[in-house]
Structure 1
Amino acid sequence: MEKPLVWLLNIMALLVWFAVAGVLGVYFEQFWMSLALAAFVLIIKFYWDLYWLNNWLWHSKKLSPTITHGVWGQIYKGIYDVQIKNRVKRKQLSEIIGTFKAGSEALPDAALVVNSKHEIMWCNRLARIELGISWPEKQGVKVVDAIPQTEFVELIKSKRFEFPLEIQSPANAQKILEVRIVPFVDSNLMLLIRDVTRLSQIEKMRKDFVANVSHELRTPLTVINGYLEMLPDAAQLPPLMMNKAIAEMRTQSIRMQTLIEELLQLSRIEASNERAFDKLVNVPQLLWQIQTEAQALNRDKQHKLFFDIAPQLCVYGIESELRSAFSNLIFNAIHYTSDQGVIEVRWQLSKDCARFSVKDNGDGIAAKDINRLTERFYRVDKARSRKTGGSGLGLSIVKHVLTHHNSNLKISSALGVGSDFSCEFSAELTFMTNKPM
């Protein structure tokens, strides 16, 4: 029914109501009393309808209104139509926000939205990982508290955002981040943050590669060349000396091959631009494979190997890199622990973080050497490293893999007691499956 017609009928009904009241008042000789009583009844009905309207708006769980007619029916219908429109708008807005969030999570850069008071309003997952921001706990926190580097604080104060700024990552001291700030509506700021560590390391990596290769290959090449010089006189050499020469050349060539392969592997890790936060790695399955290899490697040493692996604990990362890091730590323990030692490998959840550790009861490492263990070609005992075939690159590879995954290698050791190598992956990278993988 059209709104004007409803109002016309309502006015006519009021006139008829008061007309009947007036006629009854004249009949009973109580005209004004009858009109007052009629008005009072209308007021009671008005407040009764108002009560039910309020009850529907604030207390009823039903979206559809109570069936009613007349003007109140139009009021109910009007409110209902507005609610439906608002619900559609909210749904559309929710879909837009969902699309925006999905798009922002797909960005190759970390992104933060900061209000005019420089408080963090929102950030994507990559920002939580690269900056170590716990969400939503850090919502409303000043951005200079989340990124406390002096250069960044000065940039925010200066409000000169024409050029990007390079800073050290608050979550990982080994990473260099490029921060670009874009002002937008109402003095809000969008921070786009990119990991540029690889770019700054490329030149250094090339120089180190050349220097290290020339240094480390010189010794085996010298040995091989020395024996090759003897070959023209091979007929006069005793068979034992010839056998020793051939065995030594084979050993040195294998050492060079291993060295080159590990250098190339280290270079690939350093130069990799693969994102470490996209793919889920089945770490339990990976460690079970390494366990089989470790048992084969352990046949001569006869160590007691214990693997304690949480079957549901996975992490986001790069499988090939994690395999290299974990196997290096486990195989090192086998190589450098005295025969019939004890080696414990653990993969467990610790305070929402995935933790990997390799503990042995070997000779241990002096405190003065611990901080240098991850340097390329650094060896605590060079003679022993040559005997075990160590290249001096294993822990350097581990360090770079963990840096790529926003983690650090922790080393605890004491001479004559043993060593414990461990690392943790942040809660953002940790994932617990519903069932063992």
Structure 2
Amino acid sequence: MPLLEPITWRRLLLEGVLFCLPALLLLLFIGHLGWLLAPPTGGGSWISLFYGLHRMQLRQRRRRRELAMLFKRFRSGADSLPDTLVMLTGDGHIFWCNGLAQQLLSFRWPEDNGQPILNLLRYPEFNDYLQRQAFQRPLTLQLNNQHWVEFRVMPYTDDQRLMVVRDVTQMQQLEGARRNFFANARHELRPPLTVLQGYLEMMTDDSLDAHMRQRAVQTMQDQSRRMERLVAQLLELSRIEAAPQGETHTPVDMPTLLKRLQASVEGLSQGQHPLVLRVNPQLWVNGNEEQLRSAVSNLMYNAVIHTPPGTRIEVSWQRSAEGATFQISDNGPGIAPEYLPRLTERFYRVDKARSRQTGGSGLGLAIVKHALSHHDARLDISSAPGEGTRFGFTLPARLITLPPRVDPSVSPLSPQARE
């Protein structure tokens, strides 16, 4: 009979570990799930201890959920901001950016996580801005000869920085337009003011004869009227530019408006320009009546002012496949092709000498351009030397409306009609 191997304490310990450890882990796992649902049972003073630990664990889980929700809201709010946000480390590495940074700065996320900002924005001015750390004033920079952006960098923590980037392209364009506007206005107002000043000094001479004095008075009146027209057109242009964008639903009786302008244009022409109107009497549109009147009147007045006597002028207002189309054409001398792209610029005139004689300010077509832009339309110009000129625009079909119905059973003199 073989002898039994003696049992040592090491063997007992090994067997206990091998058999008891899986059971212990299983019990801990089951106990952890039960702990999340309810505190373990116990007796005596252990009840309050288990209950307190259970409540502490529930609070920690609730706080983790709240922090996760708060971080999610922060990310959502940062992505909805109108400015670009970029988080940088102290040495200029990116560790977070919002969605607008991917559009304005062409960042890729999360591929650009950890990238040095100077590797993505390779501009000497921006490099100097970060190296000098002169963050008291923003840096304005043009990216890829397209967008103008403004950089602002501010400390976020001891070793982190927040960079805010804003698209200021429109502000730069408006600033340039403002400078050009005042420069051109000063240039246009200086000649008539110089003439007025010279004739006023002449009027102080007692030896001036009556004929010369009358001529001086007439010239000063002409120059003052020229400045008055210039100021009126400047105010009209600024009023149109400041008007809110968006379509208006006010019906405009374009046929009646054109009939009234016909009388004014014929009075301005004094019978020297044959004028022909082809107007659809049922073609009404929704829009701003004042702006449409400014656009159409400037085109019709220009046709008379800038063409020689005997020029035939035709005006058309008809329905087309694209919408409501206005055209005004003449058989005058025409305009050279190199001048056509600049006709709608402020104060631009092809023949400056003739414009001074006729009192033109160079603002009429600029007014037309801005008035049409408020109605989602643009001015089309076609001309060639010796072949006449045609101006036109088309209002979208969605702006066309029907004239208001008039009940034929109601007499114009009846109380119902007066109401």
Correspondence 1:362 to 2:332: yes
Q: 2:294 aligns with which of 318, 324, 334?
A: 324
User: Which residue does the alignment assign to 2:27?
Assistant: none
CA distance in 2, matches of 1:287, 1:228: 42
CA distance in 2, matches of 1:200, 1:265: 23
Gaps of 5+ in 1: 1-149, 160-195
Report the secondary structure of 1:425's partner residue.
Answer: strand
Q: 2:198 aligns with which of 201, 217, 226?
A: 226
User: Which residue does the alignment assign to 2:312?
Assistant: 342
Q: Is the 8 A contact 1:198 1:270 kept in 2?
A: no
CA distance in 1, matches of 2:324, 2:176: 32
Gaps of 5+ in 2: 1-101, 111-167, 408-419
Q: Is the 8 A contact 1:205 1:267 kept in 2?
A: no
Cα pair distance change 1:436/1:286, threshold 3 Å: farther
Cα pair distance change 1:280/1:199, threshold 3 Å: farther
Q: 1:353 aligns with which of 319, 323, 341?
A: 323
Q: 2:213 aligns with which of 214, 229, 242?
A: 242
Partner AA of 1:372 in structure 2: R
Correspondence 1:255 to 2:226: yes
1:86-145 Cα offsets, whole Å, 9 max, x none, are: xxxxxxxxxxxxxxxxxxxxxxxxxxxxxxxxxxxxxxxxxxxxxxxxxxxxxxxxxxxx
User: Which residue does the alignment assign to 1:266?
Assistant: 237
CA distance in 1, matches of 2:245, 2:340: 30
Q: Is the 8 A contact 1:365 1:415 kept in 2?
A: yes
Once the 2 structures are TM-superposed, how far is the Cα of residue 198 of structure 1 from its aligned partner? 9.1
Cα pair distance change 1:287/1:200, threshold 3 Å: farther
User: Which residue does the alignment assign to 1:386?
Assistant: 356
Q: Is the 8 A contact 1:312 1:436 kept in 2?
A: no
CA distance in 2, matches of 1:367, 1:250: 36
Scaled by the length of structure 1, the TM-score of the pair is: 0.53
Partner AA of 2:191 in structure 1: T
Once the 2 structures are TM-superposed, how far is the Cα of residue 232 of structure 1 from its aligned partner? 2.0
Q: 1:427 aligns with which of 391, 397, 400?
A: 397
Q: 2:261 aligns with which of 290, 294, 301?
A: 290
Report the secondary structure of 2:225's partner residue.
Answer: helix
Cα pair distance change 1:339/1:325, threshold 3 Å: same
RMSD of aligned Cα (Å): 2.8
CA distance in 2, matches of 1:436, 1:258: 40
Q: Is the 8 A contact 2:245 2:374 kept in 1?
A: no
Q: Is the 8 A contact 2:322 2:394 kept in 1?
A: no
Once the 2 structures are TM-superposed, how far is the Cα of residue 209 of structure 1 from its aligned partner? 3.6
User: Which residue does the alignment assign to 1:3?
Assistant: none
CA distance in 2, matches of 1:410, 1:389: 24
CA distance in 1, matches of 2:204, 2:263: 46
Cα pair distance change 1:255/1:242, threshold 3 Å: same
Structure 1 residues 76-225: aligned runs within 5 Å: 203-204=175-176, 206-225=178-197
CA distance in 2, matches of 1:310, 1:197: 43
Q: Is the 8 A contact 2:343 2:349 kept in 1?
A: yes
Scaled by the length of structure 2, the TM-score of the pair is: 0.55
Q: Is the 8 A contact 1:312 1:434 kept in 2?
A: no
Correspondence 1:303 to 2:281: no
Q: Is the 8 A contact 1:341 1:362 kept in 2?
A: yes
CA distance in 1, matches of 2:352, 2:339: 13
Cα pair distance change 1:346/1:315, threshold 3 Å: same
Once the 2 structures are TM-superposed, how far is the Cα of residue 257 of structure 1 from its aligned partner? 0.4
